[in-house]
Chain A
Amino acid sequence: MKLSRSLILDMSAGPVFHVALLFSAFLLFRGHNAPGGGFIGGLVAGAALVLRYVAGGADEVHRTVRVAPELMLGLGLALAVLTGVAPWLVGDQFLESAKLSVDLPLLGTVKTTTALPFDIGVYFVVVGLVLAVLRTIGGEE
């Protein structure tokens, strides 16, 4: 069964996709202080990919994200685990978090914690999972 394509969907999928990705990043970064975080952000990004799939099939997804899902899964997992291991270097325990305060030129002082890279790892794993599903189960016809 072939999913029929509609012009409106085709035209809107592109811009909506980018807006959704931005939104997912926003959810990811604010997750520590308000509803959001790696899981939710990753799922929103996944939903954006699904939209892309509905509009253009597996090829469209492939054109949009050229990274192999295996790579994305591995990167995400590695980032999370490395964040956990890093405290060992300064003598702290596995996964112990530290607060960071960075002065950025345009945004001013940004306060965050080492939980953020961990959450980014989670984000990539979730996106990787959705990508894997679309590439395989969605790959037929």
Chain B
Amino acid sequence: MIGLLLLYGGVALLGPALSRRLGARVLFLCLVPHIATLAYLVSAWPRVAGGRSIAESHEWVPALSLGVDLRLDAFGLLMAGIISGIGVAVFFYARWYFAGRSDLGLFAGVITVFAGSMVGVVMADNLLLLYVFWELTSVTSYLLIGIDHQKGAARAAALKALLITGMGGLVMLGGFVLVGRAAGTFSLSGILATPPSGATTTVGIGLVLVGAFTKSAQVPFHSWLPGAMAAPTPVSAYLHSATMVKAGVYLIARLAPVFATVVWFWRPVVLAAGVATMLVGGYRALRETDLKLLLAYGTVSQLGLMVVLVGAGYPDLTFAGAALILAHSLFKAVLFMVVGIVDHAAHTRDLRRLHGLGRRMPLVFAVSVVAVASMVGLPAALGFLAKEAAYEALLHSGNPVVTAAVVVGSALTFAYGARFLWGAFADKPVRKEDDVALEVAAPSPAIVLPSVVLSILTLVLGVAPALGGKLVTSAATAVGRTTELPKLVLWHGFTPALGLSGLAIAVGVALFLRRGSVDRLQSRLALPAGLTTPYEHALSLLNRVADRSTGVMQNGSLPIYVGVILLTVVLLPTWRLATDGRLPSRIEFADSPVQALVALVVVAAAIGCARARRRFVAVLLLGAVGFAVAVLFIMQGAPDLALTQLLVETLALVIFVLVLRHLPEQFPRRSSRLATGLRLGVAGGVGVFVTAFAIIAAGSRTHPSAGDGLVERALPDGGGRNVVNVILTDFRAFDTVGEITVLTVAALGIIGLLLARADGGEGEEPGK
């Protein structure tokens, strides 16, 4: 399994490199991992059928209990099959959709990374690993929505999708950590086998649900999905209908059988979100005039239905949900591809401007009819089997309110399905002012081929339920841990379920026929558009806060920065010194009067240096400080130090003079009295603090100095009598290596700074 993931990664790296030579054909290369995945799934099928699973595990970061633990069961196989199977169709379609473009390297690489991450999501058995793949899909989705990065709208839509799904992902990570802590393991299968319970788990699961809702565009987080339609159509067909948006459904399905009973709010929250999403999506789909947006809201609605079905945690509903996942992937991918074909042919997706396309491209019309039939649940299409299974299960174990809501949702689905076909293909009465798209180019057969194949698959699976039934049954068994499941059946007889189907279709037909009144109702009752307004509010608030806090924190004045740092140094440790500090036992004023005198010279010269208005005076006083400090070193018993200090001071003085001979004699006098006062205050605080620190630190020694041991070891181990030098060249020689490296870098820096000018580069000649 890990080999497949690595193959996706490898192809993703290779694709961009070859894209310039191959052009759009680079997408054929990207088919390779999909085909390999399909082949692997076929070979693995006997081992996972009937609820068994294959596991493999590789170490990654053991300290974080983060391992590459992969597990494939029938539900994962169903999902991975959709990802790779639809992937083959969409990539093939994209090769013709993008025909003639040679800048597909980024697209090919990113969408392959996405596909691999998606496979990783459905195969991951470690919550943290699942999170990694989950976020990879969010990031790649961001890049793919914004692939036309010259367009501001595409960038804004991409950012919105990233913020909503990324925030949700972060919240979900928090949930994963809580659940993993409560369970004592991050293994998904382990958690499901022995589920934790208690407050931590409840909160954790709530957070995980937020993540799943954002990813699967559930109300109130659904607004990013219509925005994501800014992406090229192959991306919409693949990510935003077939695969990525199903990740949340997948996770809910995995957790529902166990946590629907453990967590008290699971069923109310999940069902309410699902129902609301289904109805809001269906309602909005009836209003859109852009075919792609119509489909996007249709997807939102269908995702709501899927959440309702898999979220309740009942085996028969899960079964219907699995069937719907499969059916939806097949028909929605076709519909998106059709929109892309129509857009290419007529250069518009506005159903008010499309006229008579059905006559001009009959094949495209035919596949659309099959797909819509599956979507609305007409017999002979796979969607019918899924709908029937759903009604059966709802009548058997569902809540009547939810059942009624699903009927309403299905009626809306029928209505917008009919509206899609009518809008895209029908001959419509044309008003004069409408500029109808009349110049329609015939689509190439190759671009239609994938949608034909998928439509045939929809019909075959719809007519022969046994073919897909086994897969769906095994998937539901793997999720629900039960074998008592219904079967996909073509004809149940005249059951209540069929009655509900008929009712939904009848209402749907009525809604479509009275579309004029529906439009008027819609325009009067505009639903709040999800989180759009709060989202924009939050975004602009964030920007304002960022601007203002940056303005305060980073105001561009070096003295203020330094002042803040110094004040922090003074204030933070002070209370520790005051509470825990101890005075040393032996305090003397001075070793000798001379020492006191020299110390006085140091302080006086330092103050003089700070006060000096003339540069040379300041430098000379700095030198005086240095020489006086050297005298203090000698008195302390440190001849090496004193010698070094004297020499350094001499050389530093020379360098100061060399530089200052070019600068004006006096410092500029500009500070206000207030500024000087503040500086004096901060500087005084620093001085008092450091004095107190020096005294208290001397009293806080709890261990003898390491230096004592060094003195004893100097001659036997280091072979030298001068302990300081032995430390520098032997015991702590590594420090010295670091130090001379710093000196070398400083010297090279000096050379670089001043020789650049000698080259006559950007510098001017010094003033005369």
Contact = CB atoms under 8 A, between A and B. Distances in A.
Chains A, B in direct contact (C-beta < 8 Å): yes
Contacts of A86: none
B530 interface: no
B729 A70 contact: no
A61 interface: no
Interface string B693-715: 00000000000000000000000
A121 interface: yes
A77 B644 contact: no
A139 B744 contact: no
Contact of B725 (A36, A47, A84, A130): A36
A121 B648 contact: no
Contacts, number: 148
B719 A125 contact: no
A80 B733 CA distance: 9
B32 interface: no
Contacts of A39: 644, 728
B211 to A, nearest CB: 49
B655 A133 contact: yes
A132 B747 contact: yes
A34 B725 CA distance: 8
Contact of B640 (A35, A53, A81, A94): A35
A136 B661 CA distance: 14
Contacts of B644: 39-40, 43
Contact of B730 (A34, A115, A126, A129): A115
A32 interface: yes
B498 to A, nearest CB: 82
B718 interface: yes
Given A36-B725, A115-B729, A115-B730, A130 B720 contact: no
Nearest to A83: B733
A32 B729 contact: yes
B730 A113 contact: yes
A43 B747 CA distance: 14
B519 to A, nearest CB: 80
A137 B743 contact: no
Contact of B722 (A32, A50, A116, A132): A32
B747 A33 contact: no
Contacts of A84: 733-734, 737
Interface string B737-758: 1001101101110110111001
A8 to B, nearest CB: 19
A2 to B, nearest CB: 9
Nearest to A125: B740
B648 A43 contact: yes
B747 A115 contact: no
B639 interface: yes
Nearest to A113: B719
Interface residues of B, number: 43
A69 B754 contact: no
A121 to B, nearest CB: 7
Contacts of A81: 737
B721 A33 contact: yes
A140 B662 contact: yes
B748 A70 contact: yes
A69 to B, nearest CB: 6
Nearest to A44: B647
Contacts of B730: 95, 97, 113, 115
Output the residue of A46, A70, A140 with the most chain B CB within 10 A: A140
A129 B726 CA distance: 23
A132 B751 contact: yes
Interface string A1-33: 100000000000000000000000000000111
Contacts of B734: 84, 94-95
Contacts of B755: 136
A76 to B, nearest CB: 7
A73 interface: yes
B171 to A, nearest CB: 48
Interface in A73-127: 73-74, 76-77, 80-81, 84, 94-95, 97, 99, 111-113, 115-116, 118-119, 121-122, 125-126
A56 interface: no
Contacts of B659: 137
B766 interface: yes
B736 interface: yes
Contacts of A43: 644, 647-648, 651
B658 to A, nearest CB: 5
Nearest to A73: B744
B541 interface: no
Nearest to A84: B737
Contact of A97 (B639, B640, B661, B718): B718
Given A77-B741, A80-B736, A37 B658 contact: no
A126 B647 CA distance: 12
A80 B737 contact: yes
Contacts of A37: 640, 722, 724-725, 728-729
A32 B720 contact: yes
Contacts of B728: 37-39, 122
A122 to B, nearest CB: 6
B654 interface: yes
B643 interface: yes
A136 B754 contact: yes
A113 B728 CA distance: 13
Interface in B337-356: none
A112 B647 CA distance: 26
Nearest to B726: A32
Contacts of B720: 32-33, 113, 115
Nearest to A31: B725
A35 to B, nearest CB: 4
A115 B754 contact: no
A50 B658 CA distance: 11
A122 B726 contact: no
Nearest to A138: B658
B650 interface: yes
A133 B648 CA distance: 13
B758 A32 contact: no
Nearest to A3: B661
Given A43-B647, A47-B650, A70 B719 contact: no
Nearest to A136: B754
Nearest to A97: B730
B529 to A, nearest CB: 66
B660 to A, nearest CB: 10
Nearest to A37: B725
A1 B661 contact: yes
A126 to B, nearest CB: 7
B647 A139 contact: no
A94 B725 CA distance: 18
Nearest to A49: B651
B743 A34 contact: no
A62 interface: no
Given A132-B747, A136-B750, A38 B729 contact: yes
Contact of B740 (A50, A116, A121): A121
Nearest to B721: A33
30 contacts: A32-B719, A32-B722, A32-B726, A33-B722, A37-B640, A37-B725, A40-B644, A40-B647, A43-B648, A44-B647, A73-B744, A74-B744, A76-B740, A76-B744, A97-B729, A97-B733, A112-B719, A113-B718, A115-B726, A115-B729, A118-B736, A119-B725, A121-B740, A122-B728, A129-B743, A132-B748, A136-B750, A136-B751, A136-B754, A137-B750
Interface of B: 639-640, 643-644, 647-648, 650-651, 654-655, 658-659, 661-662, 718-722, 724-726, 728-730, 733-734, 736-737, 740-741, 743-744, 746-748, 750-751, 753-755, 758, 766
List of 5 A-B pairs having minimum Cβ-Cβ separation, nearest first:
A32-B720, A43-B647, A136-B754, A115-B729, A33-B721
Given A39-B728, A40-B640, A122-B728, 5 more contacts: A70-B751, A73-B747, A113-B720, A115-B718, A129-B747
Interface of A: 1, 31-40, 43-44, 46-47, 50, 53-54, 69-70, 73-74, 76-77, 80-81, 84, 94-95, 97, 99, 111-113, 115-116, 118-119, 121-122, 125-126, 128-130, 132-133, 135-140
